[in-house]
Amino acid sequence: MSLPADESALRTYVAGELERSRARSAALTEAVDDGDLVRQHSPIMSPLVWDLAHVGNQEELWLVRDVGGREPVRSDIDHLYDAFRHPRADRPALPLLSPTEARAYIGQVRGKALDVLDRAALSGRRLVDGGFAFGMIVQHEQQHDETMLATHQLRVGSPVLHAAPPDDAHVTALPAEVLMPAGEFTMGTSTEPWALDNERPAHPAATGAYQLDTTPVTNAAYQQFIEAGGYDDPRWWSERGWAHRRETELTAPLFWQRDSDGSWWRTRFGLTEPVPPAEPVVHVCFFEAEAYATWAGKRLPTEAEWEKAARFDPATGRSRRYPWGDEDPTDARANLGQRHLQPAPAGAYLAGASPLGVHQLIGDVWEWTSSGFSAYPGFAPFPYKEYSEVFLGGDYRMLRGGSFGTDAAACRGTFRNWDHPVRRQIFSGFRCARDAGPADVA
């Protein structure tokens, strides 16, 4: 996000971002009763009440205790909300704070954190320069808000979340692919004030010439893969992917079901509806995305190819903060922040296009890439190893660009997300790439 230069204005801005994040957390947890808050809706997700208290505990650890140097509010619960100490499947059995206690706790922590914000220096050491520690906590809470939104999608019951659908009045037909030139570009950042350690430092990266899908793959296109027998043909799947498909009996994206007449329906936050053909497909794992790309005669882009498409300006040779430029996201540029509870149709955000005409790189769906999670040259963990370093080199695939459930504070052209290749509960989609041939570059 663009930050005010004046320290007083920066404090006001940070306070507003903290409040905006907390309002979203409250909306997600107050939409259900206490029974739903303490229930585990899936063994791969935490109870909502755990996420709620966890964001407060992180805020206490970093803002109250570290930045503020204050006495602990509840040091006795640190171990309960340590994400590395207890797997998600085990968390319901812990003596967690009740919903009432969790709300009281995060309220008490927030009061102390705002007092720290009023008094602490916002320069002089790296943790506080530009309000970084506060920005880290804003992003952390927003990331858990998206996780809680995914938990809502897994919840069984009548709809409790409501939002207007995306505007499709300005959807424009677009070419299928965009040619990206070969050459070097600047990947990562050394200047984005709230960028996290794995986004740093800025460094040169190079790609060959490649064609990239103009938009993410749509439901209609993905249905063609299904109808062509894509889930039944091992030719399109990697060895690991095919083994996973057979073991889990995958036949379609998560939350899809076929009616007796052959039509496809999906369940979205408690609402069952026809699958919208023009929307980007969502809730597919890496292996499904990889299989579709192979079936289509293409491949998934590398992480560098994705970022080049999202940031490189061929007219200046500079890497921009976002596809459209350096300005922060707006409602006209991207579908972010849970403003809608679904992706927008392909071609819906003309103002968000890159200079070469690639669309919807930010928002709508996280996009799988073919790359694993590796450190950039010169990477240094900051401010703690558990954010990035402990995951490096693991069995992950990178996702880029954010989703309709990602907040703008936690989404930019350099932001990196990673997950296991089997994950589908996240708001994940993809677009395809292919190496450019002589006819493409002629």
pLDDT in tens, 113-139: 999 999 999 999 999 999 999 999 999
Residue 52 to residue 44: CA distance in whole angstroms: 17
The pLDDT mean for the chain works out to 97
- How far apart are the two ends of the chain, measured CA to CA in Å? 39
CB 422 within 8 A of CB 150: no
Q: Which tokens belong to 394?
A: 């693991």
Residue 352 to residue 364: CA distance in whole angstroms: 12
Residue 72: other Cβ atoms inside 10 A? 12
The pLDDT score that the predictor gives to residue 151 is: 98
The pLDDT score that the predictor gives to residue 410 is: 96
The pLDDT score that the predictor gives to residue 169 is: 72
Q: In what order do the strands lie in the sheet with 256-258?
A: 256-258, 264-268, 271-274
Q: Which tokens belong to 180?
A: 């990206």
In this prediction, residue 172 has a pLDDT band, given cuts at 50, 70 and 90, of confident
- The helix/strand/coil state of 274 is strand
Options 1.20.120.450, 3.40.50.12500, 3.40.50.2300, 3.10.105.10; which CATH number does 7-154 get? 1.20.120.450
CB 250 within 8 A of CB 394: no
pLDDT tops 90 at residue 5: no
Q: Which helix (H) or strand (E) is 313 found in, with range?
A: strand 312-313
Residue 205 to residue 278: CA distance in whole angstroms: 34
For residue 191, give the DSSP letter: S
CA 324 to chain centroid, in Å, comes to 19
Predicted confidence (pLDDT) per residue in 252-297, tens digit: 999 999 999 999 999 999 999 999 999 999 999 999 999 999 999 9
Average pLDDT over residues 397-405: 98
Average pLDDT over residues 222-226: 98
Rounded to 10 deg, the angle between the 132-154 and 7-30 helix axes is: 20
Cα–Cα distances (Å) from 405 to 149, 339, 362, in that order, read 7, 8, 11
pTM for this prediction: 0.97
Residue 365 to residue 343: CA distance in whole angstroms: 7
The pLDDT score that the predictor gives to residue 2 is: 80
Strands 428-429 and 210-213: unpaired
Average pLDDT over residues 133-149: 98
Residue 17 to residue 281: CA distance in whole angstroms: 31
Residue 345 to residue 275: CA distance in whole angstroms: 12
The pLDDT score that the predictor gives to residue 354 is: 98
pLDDT tops 80 at residue 431: yes
Cα–Cα distances (Å) from 166 to 16, 77, 239, in that order, read 26, 41, 38
Cα–Cα distances (Å) from 427 to 11, 154, 281, 306, in that order, read 32, 12, 9, 18
pLDDT tops 70 at residue 235: yes
Residue 250 to residue 229: CA distance in whole angstroms: 12
The pLDDT score that the predictor gives to residue 150 is: 98
**How many degrees, rounded to 5, is the angle at CA 413 between CA 408 and CA 414?**
105
The pLDDT score that the predictor gives to residue 426 is: 98
Rg (C-alpha) for the chain, rounded Å, is 22
The pLDDT score that the predictor gives to residue 130 is: 95
Q: Which tokens belong to 168?
A: 């499709």
Which residue intervals of the chain bear CATH 1.20.120.450?
7-154
Which residue intervals of the chain bear CATH 3.90.1580.10?
162-442
Residue 71 to residue 129: CA distance in whole angstroms: 23
Beta-carbon contacts of 21 under 8 Å, excluding residues fewer than 6 positions away, are 138, 141, 142, 145, 407, 409
Q: Which tokens belong to 277?
A: 């053909």
CA 293 to chain centroid, in Å, comes to 21
Express as a percent the part of the chain with pLDDT over 70.
100
CB 370 within 8 A of CB 302: yes
Q: Which helix (H) or strand (E) is 85 found in, with range?
A: none
In this prediction, residue 335 has a pLDDT band, given cuts at 50, 70 and 90, of very high
In this prediction, residue 442 has a pLDDT band, given cuts at 50, 70 and 90, of low
The pLDDT score that the predictor gives to residue 3 is: 87
Average pLDDT over residues 71-87: 96
pLDDT tops 70 at residue 299: yes
Look up the CATH number of domain 162-442: 3.90.1580.10
Predicted confidence (pLDDT) per residue in 350-399, tens digit: 999 999 999 999 999 999 999 999 999 999 999 999 999 999 999 999 99
Q: In what order do the strands lie in the sheet with 417-419?
A: 417-419, 397-400, 366-368, 428-429
The pLDDT score that the predictor gives to residue 264 is: 98
DSSP alpha helix (H) spans, 271-346: 286-295, 303-311
